[in-house]
């Protein structure tokens, strides 16, 4: 027996079969039939207030849930508003399915109202784009799109659906849903025995081997395999900022993250290593510094899911094309009696470097971003999910958040999109309703998507927001200070009263101008059932260090000024005691 379904209803049914539970979306003329169908379906559509937030939220959802995030927008401006979020997902290899309405099929190319060539616009920032021209192809397209998003190196795809197609009818077998082919994850494994032999020889003979663990470890859901591998091989590891959480912060083999604002000891480790095991990384310029001086003594073993990363930025001695999860299972043992000793010495040396070049200790008498982030880190539950925006607060969050679990640190690493943090936190909350989700944001970044406050209220998402307000675009100001002779230009921010703004949206809020007030505000936020905004008025001028200046080598990592370092020991407090004292006081 045959049944007839309208295109829009068919699409929504397909979304249900794909187990889409959250669709971050905004309506408009070219998706009206889909909205009509959504009203009767089981897919929860979340009404954002700007389409860009929909694509960022889908990103946050995907990272926390471990499956593609879905977003939907109408044609024209709706579709183009998704673009930054799609580009962000492409840069950070996050699986996402963006669905856009399009003008009627026969109107394409007539410069119709709200017509844009969104599949053309998105070519460079998607793995694949699709235009559904007839309903018969729709199910296959959705499944192919889903599989494309998750298989190989994950990333975003876009499906453009003309409004006329949404209104057409398709004849289907009565049991078509039972026969619907679910998307499959196919893990890539193209490693050969010769690859492993070469890898074993390279790593076994190394005196100073070093792992650089990237986002691939989180995307491939193999942080446990990484932890086991590190422990088995006794090889020290650093991570990229997107790889944070893959290794525990207190793991004795882990030496934090490298790069432009990474730890000086992590950068030094890279520059002194003789073999680098690059696991799920893409050698972004923010981690390599001046490319020709990157890891000058090291031969590189690179394992990646994306074959096109082979020799793209850094010359590789051995490249293994495989999903890391499978690679760890097959990686031969390289630890032996001989190198066990040299590895222990190497780790001991790196530990001494870590002691020599610590991060600046937190000074609770100074109310700056570091203090604020540290206080949140100490008070919040261990399984807190944090999203950040982009700028100084992002780097300090990476440096001072100490207990993040895998996929619990959401940040726009590759594209560096201001405005990412808050919607990504919403997506994370949708994916993990019972988790404590904090968005750490700056006064500049937050104002790029603060309209979503009301979305949180409407959805009853208890997202907590820490706005670190220094009345500056802090990172730009820092660069103008360091590289443009303090010629500050376009960085002074006149801000609204964020507490009153939150109140206007019906969100509980508190202001903090010192550490004690912040402890009180965060404590109150965590005990509040709904969303909560903390407006922290922090020190205006402060610079993120350590730093590798643009165009410099990792060997030239700028540490803190010598005078400041002298005072490190004097200022060093027992942080737990300090926080406890503050909390007791409050």
Partner 1 sequence: MQLNNWLIKCNHTPETLDRIMMHFRKRGLLVNEINYKALNAQQAECVVLFDEEKENASRIYNNIMRTVDVHSIEIK
Give the chain's largest Cα–Cα span: 83
For the bound state, the minimum distance from the C-beta of residue 136 to partner 1, rounded and expressed in Å, comes to 15
Instruction: Provide the H-helix boundaries in 249-391.
Output: 264-272, 285-288, 324-330, 337-356, 369-379
Of 36 and 306, nearer to partner 1 (C-beta) is 306
Of 308 and 460, nearer to partner 1 (C-beta) is 308
For the bound state, the minimum distance from the C-beta of residue 151 to partner 1, rounded and expressed in Å, comes to 9
For the chain, the C-alpha Rg in angstroms (whole number) is 25
For the bound state, the minimum distance from the C-beta of residue 287 to partner 1, rounded and expressed in Å, comes to 18
- Asked, as a colleague might, if the bond just before 58 is cis with ω within 30 of 0, I would say no
Cβ pair 374, 399 in contact under 8 A: no
For the bound state, the minimum distance from the C-beta of residue 306 to partner 1, rounded and expressed in Å, comes to 7
Which range touches partner 1 (CB under 8 A), out of 16-24, 118-126, 449-457, 547-555?
118-126
For the bound state, the minimum distance from the C-beta of residue 308 to partner 1, rounded and expressed in Å, comes to 4
Angstrom distance (rounded) from CA 126 to CA 116: 16
Angstrom distance (rounded) from CA 518 to CA 516: 5
Cβ pair 367, 514 in contact under 8 A: yes
Nearest one of 327, 335, 332 to 303, comparing CA atoms: 327
Interior CA angle at 534 toward 529 and 537, to 5°?
A: 170
Of 30 and 129, nearer to partner 1 (C-beta) is 129
For the bound state, the minimum distance from the C-beta of residue 160 to partner 1, rounded and expressed in Å, comes to 11
Q: Does 59 bind partner 1 (CB under 8 A)?
A: no
For the bound state, the minimum distance from the C-beta of residue 128 to partner 1, rounded and expressed in Å, comes to 5
Q: Does 290 bind partner 1 (CB under 8 A)?
A: no
Q: Is 401 left (phi over 0), alpha (psi -120 to 50) or beta?
A: beta
Tokens at 203, concatenated: 């790593």
Interior CA angle at 359 toward 492 and 413, to 5°?
A: 60
493-512 residues near partner 1, rule: CB under 8 A? none
Q: Does 308 bind partner 1 (CB under 8 A)?
A: yes
Of 312 and 572, nearer to partner 1 (C-beta) is 312
Q: Does 288 bind partner 1 (CB under 8 A)?
A: no
The 3-state DSSP composition of the chain as helix, strand, coil percent (nearest 5) reads: 45, 20, 40
Integer CA distances (angstroms), 231 to 36, 212, 226, 347, 373, in order: 54, 15, 9, 12, 30
Which range touches partner 1 (CB under 8 A), out of 57-65, 78-86, 123-131, 521-529?
123-131
Angstrom distance (rounded) from CA 472 to CA 554: 28
Angstrom distance (rounded) from CA 26 to CA 173: 32
Number of shown-chain residues binding partner 1 (CB under 8 A): 18
Q: Does 291 bind partner 1 (CB under 8 A)?
A: no
Binds partner 1 by CB under 8 A, chosen from 22, 75, 116, 119: 119
For the bound state, the minimum distance from the C-beta of residue 140 to partner 1, rounded and expressed in Å, comes to 13
Binds partner 1 by CB under 8 A, chosen from 82, 94, 96, 131: 131
For the bound state, the minimum distance from the C-beta of residue 10 to partner 1, rounded and expressed in Å, comes to 22
Which range touches partner 1 (CB under 8 A), out of 57-65, 273-281, 304-312, 501-509?
304-312
Of 134 and 311, nearer to partner 1 (C-beta) is 311
Cβ atoms within 10 A of the Cβ of 527, count? Answer: 8
Q: Does 225 bind partner 1 (CB under 8 A)?
A: no
135-154 residues near partner 1, rule: CB under 8 A? 148, 152-153
Which range touches partner 1 (CB under 8 A), out of 22-30, 305-313, 321-329, 441-449?
305-313
Of 182 and 312, nearer to partner 1 (C-beta) is 312
Cβ atoms within 10 A of the Cβ of 311, count? Answer: 12
- In SS3 terms, 300-312 reads as EEEEECCHHHCCC
For the bound state, the minimum distance from the C-beta of residue 12 to partner 1, rounded and expressed in Å, comes to 25
Binds partner 1 by CB under 8 A, chosen from 248, 306, 317, 481: 306
Q: Does 307 bind partner 1 (CB under 8 A)?
A: yes
Binding site for partner 1 (CB under 8 A): 119-120, 123-124, 127-129, 131, 148, 152-153, 306-312
């Amino acid at each position: 027996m045959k049944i007839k379904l309208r295109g829009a209803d068919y699409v929504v049914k397909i979304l249900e079969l794909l187990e889409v539970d959250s669709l971050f979306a905004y309506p408009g003329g070219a998706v009206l039939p889909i909205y009509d169908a959504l009203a009767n379906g089981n897919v929860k559509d979340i009404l954002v207030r700007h389409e860009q937030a929909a694509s960022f939220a889908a990103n946050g959802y995907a990272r926390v849930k471990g499956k593609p995030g879905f977003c939907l927008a109408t044609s024209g401006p709706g579709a183009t508003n998704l673009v930054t979020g799609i580009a962000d997902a492409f840069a950070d290899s996050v699986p996402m399915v963006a669905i856009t309405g399009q003008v009627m099929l026969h109107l394409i190319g007539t410069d119709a109202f709200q017509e844009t060539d969104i599949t053309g616009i998105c070519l460079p920032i998607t793995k694949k784009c699709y235009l559904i021209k007839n309903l018969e192809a729709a199910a296959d397209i959705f499944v192919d799109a889903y599989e494309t998003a998750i298989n190989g190196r994950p990333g975003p795809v876009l499906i453009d659906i003309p409004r006329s197609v949404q209104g057409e009818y398709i004849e289907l077998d009565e049991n078509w849903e039972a026969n619907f082919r679910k998307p499959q994850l196919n893990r890539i494994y193209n490693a050969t025995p010769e690859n492993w032999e070469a890898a074993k020889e390279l790593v076994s003979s190394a005196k100073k081997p070093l792992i650089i663990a990237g986002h691939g470890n989180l995307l491939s859901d193999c942080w446990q395999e990484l932890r086991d591998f590190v422990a088995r091989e006794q090889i020290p590891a650093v991570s990229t900022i997107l790889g944070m959480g893959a290794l525990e912060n207190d793991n004795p083999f882990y030496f934090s993250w490298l790069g432009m604002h990474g730890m000086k000891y992590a950068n030094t480790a890279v520059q002194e290593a003789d073999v680098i095991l690059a696991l799920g990384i893409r050698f972004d310029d923010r981690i390599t510094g001046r490319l020709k001086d990157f890891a000058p003594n090291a031969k590189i073993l690179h394992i990646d899911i994306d074959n096109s990363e082979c020799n793209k930025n850094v010359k590789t001695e051995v490249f293994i094309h495989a999903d890391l999860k499978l690679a760890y299972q097959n990686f031969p043992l390289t630890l032996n009696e001989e190198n066990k000793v040299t590895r222990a010495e190497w780790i001991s040396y790196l530990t001494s470097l870590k002691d020599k070049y610590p991060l600046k200790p937190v000074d609770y008498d100074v109310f700056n971003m570091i203090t604020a982030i540290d206080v949140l880190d100490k008070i919040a539950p261990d399984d807190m999910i944090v999203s950040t925006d982009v700028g100084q607060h992002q780097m300090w969050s990476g440096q001072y958040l100490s207990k993040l679990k895998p996929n619990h640190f959401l940040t726009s690493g590759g594209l560096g999109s201001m405005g990412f943090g808050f919607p990504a936190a919403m997506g994370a909350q949708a994916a993990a309703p019972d988790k404590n989700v904090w968005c750490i944001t700056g006064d500049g970044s937050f104002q790029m998507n603060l309209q979503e406050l009301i979305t949180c209220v409407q959805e009853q998402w208890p997202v907590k927001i820490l706005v670190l307000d220094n009345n500056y675009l802090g990172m730009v100001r820092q660069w103008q200070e360091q590289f443009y002779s303090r010629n500050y230009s376009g960085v002074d921010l006149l801000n609204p009263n964020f507490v009153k703004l939150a109140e206007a949206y019906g969100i509980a809020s508190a202001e903090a101008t010192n550490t004690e007030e912040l402890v009180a505000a965060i404590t109150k936020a965590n005990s509040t059932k709904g969303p909560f905004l903390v407006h922290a008025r922090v020190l205006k001028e402060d610079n993120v260090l350590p730093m590798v200046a643009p165009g410099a080598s990792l060997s030239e990592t700028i540490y803190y000024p010598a005078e400041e370092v002298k005072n490190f020991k004097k200022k060093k407090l027992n942080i737990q005691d300090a926080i406890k004292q503050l909390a007791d006081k409050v």
